[in-house]
Amino acid sequence: MGLAMLYPEAEKDGRGKNVAARKTQETWGFSSERLRQSLLVLAYSRPMAEEIARGNRSLDEALAAVKEEQTRANGVEAKRERLRKGAPDLFVPRPSR
């Protein structure tokens, strides 16, 4: 998480062009996958990333929470609610059964 916090743009272009981040990653033996996971958590919640950096939460636990929230946010009901709020003229309520 520390590397992700130092170089939050490390993998943004998909090619790892951030030379300092890549050298640090290689020197300290960080895997690209763990860096990508750390960047995902950092983008989702800086306070959560700080908990990991302090050792109060594991990366795997935080990653599971992020993925669960992403799944919930991408669910049909969440999409319907966003449509209802953002474009009420396009929202069609479900027929009652």
> Encoding tokens for residue 46?
């800086």
Average pLDDT value over all residues in the chain: 80
Mean pLDDT to the nearest integer, 6-16: 60
Separation of first and last alpha carbons in the chain: 49
Q: Is the dihedral of CA 27, 9, 69, 79 positive or negative?
A: negative
Give the predicted TM-score (pTM) of the model.
Answer: 0.59
| Least trusted range by pLDDT, from 3-17, 31-45, 73-87 | 3-17
Give the list of residues 6+ apart from residue 40 with CB closer than 8 angstroms, or none.
63, 66
